[in-house]
Amino acid sequence: MDGTPPQIKAAAVDDPAAFAKKFSEMHLLAGLAASRHLENDPDVRSKIEWLRQGVLANAARDELYRTAQVGDDEAKRYYDAHAGDFVDYTLQHLVIRYHGSEIPLRQGQKDLSEAEARAQSEELRRQLRAGQDFSKLIEQRTDDLSSKADDGVLPETASRHLLPEIALGIAALKEDEISQPIRTGFGYHLVRVVKRTQNTFEDAKPHIVILLKDADVDRQIEALKQDHPTRFDASLLSRRD
């Protein structure tokens, strides 16, 4: 099945009998279409051409990616400039929701304004600085019920996969330090850094190579578009034969 799309291969593995039935039907119907020369129908010919161009475009992108070269020096320069993107964090957080945030309002709960939510989070941070136990405050006050059962502790996450606001708000923190209130679409967060692990260049290198190869492909495609400008006429899509 060389050249078969991955999703088709996956379907064959998941349910071989169903795949065999569907593939057999497709093969028989394609043969019937060929015997009736349906490939000459303008609508069918147009659809085949769309599919052909899609396959060729994907093949060209894959070839650009395969041949893109990323040297160790280039990868190391990227790592040095973006070392903060290659930190793994274990975080503990408390969230105070505000009106319109993505955390739903619980029955009987006051729907705080943003100003009220920020003021509450600032007051809680003052309590923490005075010695209040973070876990106890989480149990009493957090609106993030999904992490409350785990004492507010989130699974270990690479910094580049954190919400940008969270990543920025904790970037300068050391282990066991607690952030200022951080606003996200979920509410105002107080975040404690439980564990902070800086990945080495060798650990980060495979991901960096992918990033740089993708960037090189994008540059080549952009250059191709600059060299071959096209004009899109949207009215063509609304025309009927």
114 φψ region: left (φ > 0), alpha (ψ -120 to 50), beta (else): alpha
For Cα atoms 193, 197, 199, give the angle at the middle one, nearest 5 degrees.
145
Q: Which of 16-25, 89-98, 110-119, 144-153 has the lowest mean pLDDT?
A: 16-25
Distance CA 145, CA 166 (A): 18
Indicate yes or no: pTM above 0.85. no
Structure-block tokens of residue 156: 């270990």
According to CATH, what is the number of the domain 84-198? 3.10.50.40
Cβ contact 153:91 at 8 Å = yes
- Write out pLDDT tens, residues 126-166: 999 999 999 999 999 999 999 999 999 999 999 999 999 99
pLDDT in tens, 195-224: 999 999 999 999 999 999 999 999 999 999
